[in-house]
Amino acid sequence: MSTGQRLQVDEVTAKIILLPDLLRGTRTFPEGFFDLVREPILQGCGIRIGFPPGGKRTHSLLPGFDVETFRRLVTDAGYDWVRSFHQIPESARSYLLEHLPDCDLVLSFEMPPWLTDLCVEMGIPFMDIRVSPLRFGRDLYVALRASNPEYYRRISETVVIDEELRLEASQLAANVRMQMVRLEEARRFDFSLGECLVFIGQAPYDASLLSPDGNSHRCGEFAEHIRELVRGRPLLHKAHPLAGGFAEEERAALAGITGQPVMPCHQNAYQILSAEEDIELLGISSGLLQEAAWFDKTAHTLFKPFVPLASQKRMELDHYQQVHYHTWVSPSFWHQILTPERTSPRLGMLTPLAHHHAREVLDQWWDYSKVMTWERQIPCEAFERAGGGLCAVA
């Protein structure tokens, strides 16, 4: 086969429709994730998954569907993205159904509740893709929710097991604690927070904060619960890096609720989780709250997690199962899930991927980047060698 020649694959007639959140207004993540599995699904299953609506390529919905028309039907009815996350007007729903062909699976990314409800009502199997909220591993995990019990069972054969998660968390915690002690011994830093609570802030219109009544949750709605948890103990506030001025508003609201000063917490996520003190975390729906248990820290979630994770002890079809990124982009994985009756693909998976491969591809690091760069030797040396240590002379 010459370089660049198209791989010949015996195709099957199964049809997969790609449907992201059509109202969110961003193509980056949904289309990026679909692109990442397009070739693995073709090689593993012989299925061409096509393209989602809204891009430059022909989508898999019936001819005539237009994303902008769909969005106008929503906005003309007085909805915006916050209000429409859980439900959309009947006119928009009917328009989508008119252009939705018969299919074997709807594949989505961060599937909104209105689309989940539509698929359930119409009896359409679906699979939703999300990034796992557990981001402390050597690379990212992908979280999958499958409405088909057989797909769920097959995915369960490749999930990341609890023992691995414990080992990953322990390795990272040991790494972070060693660095903190090193910096404390040099008398440059004091990482002591005491036995306090840390409120984990979020961006004001994060999807995890959106409620079925069309509002975005705020800490004031949980005032009584917050007062019960704090009970006079020190409360710090860790602001979300994208929250802007909202972070100060939230910190002031917490001070009003508790009747005590609330100071900002400047330590990064994994310094907090790795701390030797008995720190408790508190927040509305941040994924960091789900990471806490793996570091033996107590966390209090006031609303609910955006990506509820499945238990390995029982089947929970409304929960997400975690798989390694390198598993998720493997032809053998999709073959096992969707078409196990077919001949196995010639290439099961790529050779072992580099540490942080998914983080590099997606360019999404969250607070893990601070573990790698903050006061670390190589980044500091690179900065100095590039001239960062030189002072400008007037």
Dihedral sign for Cα 9, 11, 14, 20, please.
Answer: positive
In a domain, 1, yes or no: no
Q: Taking each helix axis from N to C terminus, what angle separates 90-98 and 113-122, rounded to the nearest 10 degrees?
A: 60
Contact between residue 129 and residue 107 where contact means Cβ atoms under 8 Å apart: yes
Per-residue model confidence (pLDDT) at position 189: 84
Give one word for 50, left, alpha or beta, with left for phi > 0 and alpha for psi -120 to 50.
Answer: left
Distance CA 284, CA 81 (A): 20
In a domain, 5, yes or no: no
Partners of 106 in beta bridges? 17, 126
Same domain? 132 vs 107 = yes
**CB atoms near residue 114 (< 10 Å):** 21
Per-residue model confidence (pLDDT) at position 1: 42
Per-residue model confidence (pLDDT) at position 3: 44
* Residue where a domain stops, chosen among 282, 301, 320: 301
Same domain? 28 vs 63 = yes
Per-residue model confidence (pLDDT) at position 312: 76
Same domain? 229 vs 136 = no
Of 97, 94, 95, 71, the C-alpha closest to 84 is 71
In a domain, 282, yes or no: yes
* Residue where a domain stops, chosen among 258, 281, 301: 301
57: Cα within 13 Å, side-chain hemisphere: 9
**pTM of the predicted model as reported, rounded to 2 decimal places:** 0.89
User: Per DSSP, which regions of 28-168 are E strands?
Assistant: 105-109, 126-131, 141-146
Per-residue model confidence (pLDDT) at position 7: 60
Same domain? 350 vs 269 = no
Same domain? 21 vs 74 = yes
In a domain, 273, yes or no: yes
Q: Which two tokens stand for residue 342?
A: 């077919």
Neighbour-count burial of 338, counting CB atoms closer than 10 A to its CB (0-12 exposed, 13-18 middle, 19+ buried): buried
Distance CA 299, CA 200 (A): 10
* Residue where a domain stops, chosen among 301, 318, 348: 301
| Cα–Cα distances in angstroms (integers) from residue 4 to residues 1, 7, 38, 282, in the given order | 8, 9, 17, 52
In a domain, 292, yes or no: yes
Same domain? 26 vs 56 = yes
In a domain, 389, yes or no: no
Give backbone dihedrals phi and psi of 341, rounded to 5 degrees, phi first. Answer: -75, -15
Q: Which two tokens stand for residue 304?
A: 């609910």
Contact between residue 260 and residue 232 where contact means Cβ atoms under 8 Å apart: yes
In a domain, 3, yes or no: no
Same domain? 278 vs 347 = no
User: Per DSSP, which regions of 206-363 are E strands?
Assistant: 235-238, 263-264, 280-283, 298-301, 321-324
Per-residue model confidence (pLDDT) at position 6: 56
Identify the three-state secondary structure at position 225: helix
Same domain? 47 vs 147 = yes
Same domain? 202 vs 127 = no
pLDDT per position in the chain (394 positions), as tens?
Answer: 444 555 666 677 679 999 999 998 788 889 999 999 999 999 999 999 999 998 889 999 999 999 999 999 999 988 888 899 999 999 999 999 999 999 999 999 999 999 999 999 999 999 999 999 999 999 999 999 999 999 999 999 999 999 999 999 999 999 999 889 988 888 788 888 988 999 999 999 899 999 998 899 999 999 999 999 999 899 999 999 889 899 999 999 999 999 999 999 999 999 999 999 999 999 999 999 999 999 999 999 999 999 999 987 777 889 999 999 999 999 999 999 999 999 999 999 888 887 877 787 777 777 777 777 777 777 776 766 677 766 554 4
Residue 230: give its domain's CATH number. 3.40.50
Same domain? 253 vs 348 = no
Per-residue model confidence (pLDDT) at position 377: 72
Same domain? 255 vs 152 = no
Contact between residue 131 and residue 142 where contact means Cβ atoms under 8 Å apart: yes
At CA 325, angle to CA 319 and CA 326, rounded to 5? 135
In a domain, 21, yes or no: yes
Per-residue model confidence (pLDDT) at position 390: 62
Same domain? 65 vs 138 = yes
Tally of structural domains, the chain: 2
Per-residue model confidence (pLDDT) at position 2: 43
Contact between residue 48 and residue 74 where contact means Cβ atoms under 8 Å apart: no
**Which residue, chain included where needed, has tokens 């692109």?**
35
Pairing of strands 141-146, 321-324: antiparallel
Domain of residue 322: give its range: 16-159+310-366
